[in-house]
Structure 1
């Protein structure tokens, strides 16, 4: 397995409560694609995820068009504050990049910088993990890359994600 793959064993990991007092955690909604694209674009350092706002909108449209895999609507969530989507966790049924990897896969987790520091990432991960576990998944995986912040690395480790042996 590539060294940048992480996986949480949902059967043996204590999953924190996904409750968040700062924002509502709601099912992923395609009508919020523009807000999500803006949060996605601003969440990463320049050029890491999307090079422009237009590219971020294209990425979000591709996600909703299932181009990165079948989005698990029951395990993908967005954080909404004051009627605006400010972050999300996007989970697909399987990784399209790692065919040998079974089970649900997080294709993205992001929070707009002006809303970071309010436990949104932690709550979104917990919501996705709990939903996947309730749907019978044994594991949840993700891939870290060059744009993954130290805070995200720490968050994934705290949530129980470990390198796949």
Structure 2
């Protein structure tokens, strides 16, 4: 007789877990997608990031603002440069513009930046990815070794740069 309540509880837990998975995979009502500034250089300032905001439901929103929730290695270029006032958000795409700095000590790689969209109905969250890369410090156009232009240089070979 103890097996019946245990089976019942197990079934309830499994069905609850399945429902949670279905809801977590549900499509977002408002979606943010980066359309410009997806690759930035470490140590740069006043980088413009462009994000398309897409209202995917039939509800019209008002007093809409979009925010980039910045953390290291990103920071605001100026006061409020991480927020954009959209106003009314209908079923058309809206472009939001932000200006950020990238710390000079940033490690190269891809960073996830949360996008918070505040409306008269509530707050919606999404995220975009920004790649941080380095700038070319040294560029070698040609190599001449012992008078031979563009000669092959093998690992470990010693030669003079001129």
TM-score by length of 2: 0.24
Which of these two proteins has the greater Rg computed from alpha carbons?
A: 2
Structure number with higher relative contact order (C-alpha < 8 Å, ≥ 6 residues apart) = 1
Q: As a proportion of its length, which structure holds more helix?
A: 1
TM-score by length of 1: 0.24
